[in-house]
Amino acid sequence: MEPITLALAKGRTAKSTIALLEKMNIEFEDFHEDSRKLIFYNNDKSIKLLFVKAVDVPTYVEKGAADLGIVGKDNILEAQADVYEMLDLQIGKCQFVVAGKQKTELGTNQALTIASKYPNITKKHFQKKRQTVETVKLNGSVELAPLIGLADFIVDIVETGTTLKENGLVILEEVEDISTRLIVNKASFATKSAAIQLFIEKLKEALE
């Protein structure tokens, strides 16, 4: 039987996700987070694992290179991929927020510049509020932007809030809760329905 292909995001949630798969008796003996190898098979070769950058997982699944993907909700939202989101794995819980310098307010009648690693999510959030903003795409150290006048505010992921606090920033608005999710390619869901449904059921049991 043709294996189902699972794209797994590298990064902070990979270890927890592999542990969850092991609870389902799905083990990849030669898998190691530090390995340069990118493709792994489980013991009975029923599952092919692609170990890829988190930001690319929605694309692999949307384009059909992978049947399933396990990745953070942040990457799913930013990619705007046309996939089915099937399960919340409750791993890597954090939150998208709007943050800014202390004693500042998010005005609704002024043009704002927002720095973020997630411009699509940022635009969508402010569009819901019927507010036009200019976005500045940054790939890291987003907290710096309001401190040096590059942007008025930032939209970023917050887990503990320590980084914001250490840079004199505060949360001004909560945008969305984030955690690791299981996504499925729409065509695969129809053509490999039995195998995918079985995987989802086992994953649900492992989460209990």
Buried b (16+ CB within 10 A) or exposed e, 95-126: bbbbbbeeeeebeeeeebebbbbbbebbbebb
Question: What is the arithmetic mean of pLDDT over 21-31?
Answer: 91
Handedness of CA 148, 142, 177, 84 (dihedral sign): positive
Predicted confidence band of residue 31 (pLDDT cuts 50, 70, 90): confident
Question: What is the arithmetic mean of pLDDT over 99-120?
Answer: 89
Whether the pLDDT of residue 7 is over 80: the answer is yes
Whether the pLDDT of residue 163 is over 80: the answer is yes
Q: What's this model's pTM, rounded to 2 decimal places?
A: 0.88
- The pLDDT assigned to 193 comes to 94
- The pLDDT assigned to 148 comes to 96
Question: What is the arithmetic mean of pLDDT over 28-46?
Answer: 87
- The pLDDT assigned to 47 comes to 95
Task: Give the pLDDT confidence of 42-62 residue by residue, as tens digits.
Answer: 999 999 999 999 999 999 999
Whether the pLDDT of residue 29 is over 90: the answer is no
Q: Identify the DSSP state of 14.
A: H
Question: What is the arithmetic mean of pLDDT over 199-206?
Answer: 95
